[in-house]
Amino acid sequence: MSENLLTSEILSAGYSYHNKKFHYGRDESLKYYLFRLQTEGLSSALVEGKMSLIESGDLLLYQPGQAYELLIEANLKADKIISSSKQPYLLYGEAISSGDYYLFCTGEWVDDWWRRSKKPTKVRIPLHEGILTIWRQLNIELAKHSQQNKEMLDYYLRILCLHIDRHIMEQTAHPLEANSYLAYRMKHFIEEHSTTALTLEQVARHVDLSVSRAVHLFKSVFDQSIMQHAIEVRLAIAKERILYSSFTLEQIAESCGYASYSYFHRMFRSHFGISPKDYRLQER
């Protein structure tokens, strides 16, 4: 059968932000495919039979028949995962903060896509604007409930799946060299802590480098400074909360690490060419 004749359907999709404890788990296995992309903070999920730490940039892929469990509590620490004789569990510390995109889907095209290559349950992907835009557009089109939008959703889902394939293939074909590995560790640390009062010293200390060496290495790998990336991530998080949370703009500014709303307003307008208020009105 021609690939164009194969069907796909998005059953549910959205963006979730949690600042309170959340647990999702079922005794029965999943009936549909589930994709979940952690965009900020930390959570833990069932991966290959055990609860694993999920960090910003981690994409979870589940097929029908797999078990799924998600737990969000006060921020998990990567070095605090321990296990008992019954089940792995985690120790907790800071305030709760977790954001993610998710979608449930089904269809012959998705079945065919899944079979083409091995899909890891958990894979790290870069949180660039391209893949986030696809996921945002999926949410917008899903809310419109028209026959024309069903066709558009089908294409957006296929684009998303092909993006996922590309990231999986790139990771397999180009294992990280030592310097790149340290740069990506810094990148992930920034993405995890971007809404806090992050300093260059903290980022450098995370990978046991001097500040000057850390700054040079990050710039050489990503062609932008550590603080430029932190600002981009912080504003991207603010963007998601403006669109998908009920927080006031002042609360969003504070939750994203800005000491004053006026400074947040200035940074947001400078970066996106529109004020936070107008962006919320335009996109809703």
In the chain, where are the structural domains located? 3-173, 178-283
- Taking CA 136 as the corner, what is the angle to CA 255 and CA 64, rounded to the nearest 5 degrees? 105
Q: Which residue carries 């495919």 as its tokens?
A: 33
What is 178-283's CATH number? 1.10.10.60
Give the pLDDT score at 170.
67
**Burial environment of residue 179 by CB neighbours within 10 A (0 to 12, 13 to 18, 19 or more):** exposed
Q: Give the C-alpha separation, 81 to 164, whole Å.
A: 28
**Spans of the chain, pLDDT less than 70:** 1-5, 26-27, 75-95, 145-148, 170-178, 284
Give the pLDDT score at 203.
94
**Burial environment of residue 240 by CB neighbours within 10 A (0 to 12, 13 to 18, 19 or more):** buried
Q: Give the C-alpha separation, 235 to 228, whole Å.
A: 11
CATH 2.60.120.280 fits 3-173, yes or no: yes
Q: Give the C-alpha separation, 102 to 54, whole Å.
A: 14
CA-derived radius of gyration, the chain = 19
